[in-house]
Amino acid sequence: TVPATSTASASSDVYDVSSIVENCMPSVVSITNVGTQEFRTIFGNYEQESQSSGSGIIIGQNDSELLIATNNHVVEDADTLSVCFVDDQAYEATVKGTDADNDLAVIAVKLSDISDDTMSQIKIAEIGDSDQLQVGEQVVAIGNALGYGQSVTTGIVSAVNRQLEDSDSENGFIQTDAAINPGNSGGALLNMQGQ
């Protein structure tokens, strides 16, 4: 068994895709957001419960919580959030902080809520340096594609430091040709060192 305080890879090693998936899947989570959506019709306004899915990456742990990075749009307007780990066990999560301009959020699951069995199967992701990415470098994407559970796609870095017209973010984006589907939001884009 591996405690959650271990990291998902050793940065000097280069892995094949199946090794990256085996090593890094325990760092990726599925997130379910249950919220309330308001509809306006010619008959008036009404509210309906809505559910959406996304992904997240285990990025750290403090004295009382496991911390998970995701996209802000995955968790915004949530009445309740649940996080499903690699062992298919789901736990309630809370939002720790958000940055809407960069579409980032950090959510937390209480360590006291997580079973020892789950803790033995999850890992903290090793965070890479995006400034070191090169165009043409192979990458692997892991996420909760289409809300059906974790899936894996591969591709290359198509461009770096891309700017988007409709984004308020001053940061450049990574463009990849790895297939990204709804539900992948917040998931991991990994280099061949599993970072």
DSSP string, 138-149: EEEEEE-GGGSS
> What whole-number distance in Å separates Cα of residue 93 and Cα of residue 138?
33
Q: What is the amino acid identity at position 188?
A: A
Instruction: Determine the Cα–Cα distance for residues 20 and 133; give it in Å rounded to an integer.
Output: 17
Task: Out of 30, 53, 55, 103, pick the active-site residue.
Answer: 103
- Please identify which of the residues 19, 50, 73, 82 carries the catalytic annotation: 73
73 labelled catalytic? yes
Other beta carbons within 10 Å of 51: 11
Return the ∠ at Cα 26 (arms to 21 and 31), rounded to 5°: 110
Beta carbons of 123 and 57 less than 8 angstroms apart: no
Which tokens is 144 given? Answer: 């909760």
Of residues 27, 30, 52, 185, which has the active-site annotation?
A: 185
Helix/strand/coil for 178: coil
Look up 6 and say whether it is catalytic.
no
Do residues 92 and 81 touch, judged by C-beta distance below 8 A? yes
Catalytic residues: 73, 103, 185
